[in-house]
A and B are shown apart, each in its own frame.
Chain A
Amino acid sequence: MRDAASLSPLDRRIVNALQAGFPICERPFAAAAESLGIDEDTLIARLQALREANVLTRFGPLYDANRFGGHVTLAALAVPAERFDAVAEIVNAFPEVAHNYAREHRLNMWFVVAAESVEAVARVLTEVEARTGLTVYDMPKTREFFVGLRLEA
């Protein structure tokens, strides 16, 4: 298991710089490398190593789901402990379900549903209620104050 303490100073600089942005041009690694004061080959090699070490999940765009049309919501269930795994299996089987997290609370299962319309999301939630017999708490985002998702390496 890799953690921040084992990243070299160069890797740390790369991770921090490239979380902030990456040029969209023909030779983006060359351009990014130049602003880091290294060459293109070195940057690509370090990124490959960081990916193999699982520090990076991927390298690419972070989308704003709201700009796609469609609808996204966060839903929660209060699942009795002895049924938890069975209910997780039912919920995770829907292709519209993205993240699903167990959290410590009476509402102990939290999942994101994304589909092409409000109605399509509602159908999934209704179906989850029918198959589990549990009340779904539907909590779509009403305002977004901040999305950073950047972590200091």
Chain B
Amino acid sequence: MELSDRDLDLVSVLCDGLPLAPRPFQAVGVAIGMGEDEVLGRLQALQQGGVIRRFGVIVRHHELGYRANAMVVWEVPADALSAVGRRLGACPEVTLCYSRPPRPPAWPYSLFTMVHGKSRGTVEEAVAVLAEREGVAHYRHELLFSTRRFKQCGARYQRRMAAE
């Protein structure tokens, strides 16, 4: 989908989130000189075009009690990647599932999944259960727990691609 400057203005102003007011789209429009009808029309088009994946609340997993998050990476051969990716992507424990090119020898892993949990122990246990249940325990895998987060949203990112 080709985005116009007007669309990007709208994307940009929504980076801060929707105002919590009875007519939030009207309020958003006021900030960028756009009528409520135009705001609604453009947002519906952006959603239909797949630019907006979904509209709704974005939670802080830390404050919801999800204190641990691990990037769980799997060394899956190219010919099995599609099947394993679809399989792990369908698991309730997995919040993201992507394939990325391995960079051997430093980095042999090709499939990335994200698993959140209330603690490190629950994440480790969930991954062990998942690996066994889905028949993927024989693929070499590692859990990379995050220890610090430095930056949530860059300037350009914020304008063009908030919240990815």
Instruction: Say yes or no: B161 contacts A68, CB within 8 Å.
Output: yes
Instruction: Say yes or no: B11 contacts A74, CB within 8 Å.
Output: no
Interface mask (A60-94 → B, CB under 8 Å = 1, otherwise 0): 11111101111010101010000000001000101
**8 closest Cβ pairs, A-B complex:** A146-B89, A58-B17, A145-B89, A3-B65, A4-B65, A95-B155, A65-B161, A98-B157
Chain A interface main SS type: mixed
Chain A contacts for B56, CB-based, 8 A: 18-22, 59, 62
Interface mask (A1-43 → B, CB under 8 Å = 1, otherwise 0): 1111100000000110011111011111110000000001000
Q: Does B160 reach chain A (CB closer than 8 Å)?
A: yes
Instruction: Say yes or no: B51 contacts A67, CB within 8 Å.
Output: yes
Alpha-carbon distance A65/B157, docked complex (angstroms): 9
Chain A contacts for B89, CB-based, 8 A: 145-146
Alpha-carbon distance A112/B101, docked complex (angstroms): 15
Instruction: Say yes or no: B163 contacts A63, CB within 8 Å.
Output: yes
Instruction: Say yes or no: B148 contacts A61, CB within 8 Å.
Output: no
Give the shortest distance, in Å, between B99 (CB) and chain A (any CB): 4
**Chain A residue total in the interface (Cβ 8 A):** 84
Q: Does A107 reach chain B (CB closer than 8 Å)?
A: yes
A60-B58, A145-B85 given as contacts; is B25 within 8 A of A137 (CB)?
Answer: no
Instruction: Say yes or no: A142 contacts B23, CB within 8 Å.
Output: no
A62-B55, A101-B150, A147-B53 given as contacts; is B96 within 8 A of A2 (CB)?
Answer: no
Chain A contacts for B52, CB-based, 8 A: 61-64
Chain B contacts for A88, CB-based, 8 A: 150
**Chain A residues near B (Cβ < 8 Å):** 1-5, 14-15, 18-22, 24-30, 40, 44, 47-48, 50-51, 53-65, 67-70, 72, 74, 76, 78, 88, 92, 94-107, 110-112, 114-116, 135, 137, 139-151, 153
Chain A contacts for B60, CB-based, 8 A: 54-57
Instruction: Say yes or no: A24 contacts B106, CB within 8 Å.
Output: no
Instruction: Say yes or no: B22 contacts A27, CB within 8 Å.
Output: yes
Give the residue of B43, B59, B116, B142 whose beta carbon is less than 8 angstroms from that of A57. Answer: B59
Give the residue of B18, B103, B147 whose beta carbon is less than 8 angstroms from that of A139. Answer: B103
Instruction: Say yes or no: A62 contacts B163, CB within 8 Å.
Output: yes
Chain B contacts for A111, CB-based, 8 A: 151
Give the residue of B22, B23, B64, B149 whose beta carbon is less than 8 angstroms from that of A99. Answer: B149
A94 to chain B: closest residue by CB: B154
Instruction: Say yes or no: B36 contacts A26, CB within 8 Å.
Output: yes
Chain A contacts for B31, CB-based, 8 A: none
